[in-house]
Amino acid sequence: MSHPLIAKLERHGPLSEDEKHVLRQITLRTSVYQAREDIVPEGSCPNHSSLILSGFATRQKHSVDGRRQITAFHVPGDFADLHSFLLKKIDDGVAALTTCTVSHVAHSDLKEITKHYPHLTRVLWLTTLVDGAVHRAWMTSLGRMDARERLAHFLCELRDRLEPVQMTKDNSYELPITQEELGDAFGITTVHVNRVLQGLRSDGLITSRGKTLIIDDWERLKEVGQYDPDYLHIDQEVERD
C-alpha cells in the first residue's frame, strides 16, 4: 500500500527516491488514537507534528463555556499541525474523529529537511498554504452560503481531497462524520444537518449506504455548493531548481 503522504505530495510532481526514503524514515514512529481522543491538546507545545496515516481527525477549538468549533477535518496524508513546527504553542487542538493511526514527526527531523531537501521543503510548505486556502473557503461558506450550500460544498471538497490517497470509488467514499460533528463545523444544529442531508437525498444528489456516501449527480452537487476545486491546488506542480 502506498504511503499516504507520498501519494499526496507526488500530485505536485515526482519525488526522488531519496526524498521518499526520508519521508518514510521520519514517519516510522506511530500511535493509535481512539475516537474523541486528543491527538494534540489545545494550547500545547508539541515537539512534533502529527501526520494522519489512517482514519479521520479534526482540528478544533473550544469557547470559554466549552462549546466546540471544528475548524478542519483531516484525512490520511494530511499533516494536522505542520504549523506547530514554527509556532511552537498552538492555539487549537487536534482530536481523533475515528480510530486513527498517527505518525509523530519530530520537529528536529523537519528542521533537517529544511536544511538538506529544499524541494521537499517547498512541497510541504505548499500543503500548509492549501490548508489556509481551505480555511478561507470555509469562512466564505460560513459567511455567505446557506446550510444546503455549505454541506454540498463540503461533500464535493471531501471527495476531491480523498481521491489523491485512493479513498474514493466512482464518486463514493466513506463518511464517518456524525451529524453533530457536521453541525459543529458548519454552525448549524444537528436537526438542521439532518434536514439538509435528507433534502439532498430527495433531490437525487446523494445516497447513503451505512457510512458510505455516494454522489449520484456530481455536476448538480457542485452547482448547489458553488464548488470550484481550484483552491485545493491538487495537481499544481512544484518546480525543482
Tens digits of residue pLDDT in 46-60: 999 999 999 999 999
Do 167 and 118 lie in one domain? The reply is: no
Q: Which residues of 72-104 are buried (b: 16+ CB within 10 A; e: fewer)?
A: bbbbbbbbbbbbbbeeeebebbbbbbbebebbb
The reply to whether 237 falls in a domain is: no
User: Domain boundary at 109, 136, 163, which?
Assistant: 136
Are 75 and 36 in the same domain? yes
Same domain, 44 and 90: yes
Domain co-membership, 101 together with 154: no
Q: How many CB atoms lie within 10 A of CB 24?
A: 12
Whether pTM > 0.85 for this model: the answer is yes
pLDDT in tens, 164-178: 999 999 999 999 999
Q: Does 54 map to a domain?
A: yes
Q: Are 221 and 228 in contact (CB under 8 A)?
A: no
Report the pLDDT value the prediction gives residue 2, as an integer from 0 to 100. 80
Q: Which of 89, 118, 136 is the last residue of a domain?
A: 136
> Based on the structure, what is the number of domains in the chain?
2
Beta bridge partners of 172: 169, 214
Residue of 97, 23, 20 lying closest to 60 (CA atoms): 97
Residue 239 lies in a domain: no
> Which of 136, 163, 185 finishes a domain?
136
Same domain assignment for residues 119 and 186: no
Residues 160, 84: one domain?
no
Q: Quick check: 58 and 70 in contact, CB under 8 A?
A: yes
- How many Å apart are CA 238 and CA 65, to the nearest integer? 43
Task: Confirm if 54 and 96 have CB atoms less than 8 A apart.
Answer: no
Looking at the structure, do residues 126 and 151 belong to the same domain, yes or no? no
What string of pLDDT tens digits covers the 241 residues of the chain? 589 999 999 999 999 999 999 999 999 999 999 999 999 999 999 999 999 999 999 999 999 999 999 999 999 999 999 999 999 899 999 999 999 999 999 999 999 999 999 999 999 999 999 999 999 999 999 999 999 999 999 999 999 999 999 999 999 999 999 999 999 999 999 999 999 999 999 999 999 999 999 999 999 999 999 999 999 999 999 999 7
Q: What local confidence, expressed as pLDDT, does residue 241 receive?
A: 78
Q: Examine the domain organization and report whether 170 and 82 are in the same domain.
A: no
The CATH number given to whatever domain includes residue 97 is: 2.60.120.10
Residue 107, domain extent? 4-136
